[in-house]
Chain A
């Protein structure tokens, strides 16, 4: 893909000149790989910057070419999935690249998600963790329309507190199982 096409895209999307300069400083196959994705999904400045940060850091960490990272099977299959809309594709591709960039964080987040699901809580109770797990606290949200519903949810929440999965979640948040870096 030629540089003028990237410039034209950047101008149309209002991409900051510094971001454009950074993009154009990449090797041709790398900048073209991102351009294919950007043009297809009409990626805006903020998402573009996130992706560029993560891709550059992945390339540095793994000694891989950015084009090769984007040619990863999962990224490609999301990009070509006809069932997904543009926004969904972008969201999932970003999640996938983030997972590659932050593998241990993503793994702990996933383990916590699995533990929360295993608690089988009713829809009126929502458990979540803060972005990036910062703060180390489990967030609990109760959603009740009546006092009876509130009482019922509280009782179910109380039962969940005693379960092993809940203990596991707090252990994960407290770094008891944070893994070592993979070579």
Chain B
């Protein structure tokens, strides 16, 4: 029944053992929020050049996530999503306000991507982030920007401590040419609920059946908790997004995914959905080596994946096309006109699944745009 959500216990929140603050970051609102939210956690100050000294080498990936670093980010915040070579691009932009994630999914590409700098970092210079975004957004008012914040971190998992999203939503909510997507596997939405997103903010969840969450998404919210959080966001005026990604193929996956989709669309109003994406499990030979060493028992290693021309391993094409078709059918049955796109797939796969492929990345991006 739509709108009916059980009262669920909230997910167990990650708590850093220590916060290390780069000198100069004390003036940031994020520092203020951290101090307020973590009164019993020790804070240490460090100079920028000594910040990570001794912290990286030899530190295992999981251990590196236990400390939280608050630092100034000196690079570019606003970037085009790199996508994957030869795949249909969805014209997505990313803003990275943190690096790495307190959760520990066995398939997470950050294990490989951030292997040499796995510290959990949050960037303190929010003003620079907003100023940089504003330069681009105001210069290109005729263009529509879909911006994600969950490329190298979970958008909301640290929100109860950092308040980062709460700091940036007021700016993005006022922009006429943007949709800011907050992508998460958490249920940390409380700080969003009293803000007015003005149709410019999409709260989005990566979705998997509870079987997959239990086996391969350590430290994340349960399916019920994610749906409860999505419902609360919808009630608060947010548009929603769902990413059925990575879809995992295993004995009985069809029943689990169908049930999850039914449960999802029984909980939320699909007409408030901005988009739904589909993507199968993707890894690389290097990531697979890391997974083998960190999660030797995960059954994700046993799928019938082949190496694709972009260097990623995916389920062999006829199999994943069949999976996508089933997923799209189950979704369409519940939400007939919702926008569905494939993440990191070739034109051939698009054609085989939907009978068409977007002519260009702008076309796909524009399909996601609300009436501006």
Contacts and interface: CB of A to CB of B under 8 A. Distances in A.
Interface of A: 56-58, 60-61, 101-105, 108, 131-137, 172-178, 180-181, 183
Contact of A133 (B299, B301, B318): B318
Given A57-B301, A134-B306, A175-B352, 10 more contacts: A57-B302, A60-B302, A61-B302, A108-B318, A133-B317, A134-B308, A136-B348, A137-B348, A176-B322, A181-B250
A104 B320 CA distance: 12
Q: Of B249, B253, B352, which is in contact with the most chain A CB atoms at under 10 Å from its CB?
A: B352
Contacts of B251: 181, 183
A131 B306 contact: yes
Interface of B: 249-251, 253-254, 292, 296-297, 299, 301-302, 304, 306-309, 316-322, 325, 346, 348-349, 352
B254 to A, nearest CB: 8
Q: Is the interface of B mostly helix, strand, loop or mixed?
A: helix
20 contacts: A56-B292, A56-B301, A58-B302, A61-B302, A101-B304, A102-B306, A104-B316, A104-B319, A108-B316, A132-B306, A132-B307, A133-B316, A133-B318, A134-B317, A137-B348, A172-B318, A175-B318, A180-B254, A181-B249, A181-B253
Given A135-B346, A136-B321, A175-B321, A105 B316 contact: yes
A134 B352 CA distance: 12
Nearest to B324: A175
A178 B348 contact: no
B306 A136 contact: no
Contacts of B321: 136, 174-175, 178
A137 B309 CA distance: 14
Given A173-B317, A178-B322, A181-B250, A105 B348 contact: no
A139 to B, nearest CB: 13
Contacts of B249: 181
A183 B253 CA distance: 12
